[in-house]
Amino acid sequence: MPSRPVLLPASVTVERYVDGGRAFYFVKIGTDAFEINVRLVAEDATKFRSVLQTQWLSGALRIGECAGAPVYWSIGEGGNSISVLVGHDDQTWDFGVELPASTIGEILNGIERA
Number of domains in the chain: 1
Question: Is the model's pLDDT at 84 over the cut of 50?
Answer: yes
What percent of the chain is modeled with pLDDT above 70?
96
- 6 belongs to a structural domain: no
- What is the per-residue pLDDT for 1? 39
DSSP readout, the chain?
--SS------EEEEEEEEETTEEEEEEEEE-SS-EEEEEEEGGGGGGGGGGGG-BGGG--EEEEEETTEEEEEEEPGGGSEEEEEESSSSSS-SEEEEEETHHHHHHHHHHHH-
pLDDT > 60? residue 2: no
pLDDT in tens, 34-50: 999 999 999 999 999 99
Please check whether residue 5 lies inside any domain of the structure: no
Q: Does the global pTM surpass 0.75?
A: yes
Residue 4 lies in a domain: no
Q: How far apart (Å, rounded) are the C-alpha atoms in residues 112 and 114? A: 6
The predicted pLDDT at position 3 comes to 60
Residues 69, 92: contact at Cβ < 8 Å? no
Give 90 or 1, the one with higher predicted confidence.
90
Buried b (16+ CB within 10 A) or exposed e, 10-38: bebebeeeeeeeeebbebebebeeeebeb
Is residue 32 assigned to a domain? yes
Q: Is residue 56 part of a domain?
A: yes
**Is 100 inside any structural domain?**
yes
For residue 17, what are the domain limits? 11-113
Q: What residue type is assigned to position 66 of the chain?
A: C
Residue 80: inside a domain: yes
Does any domain span residue 85?
Answer: yes
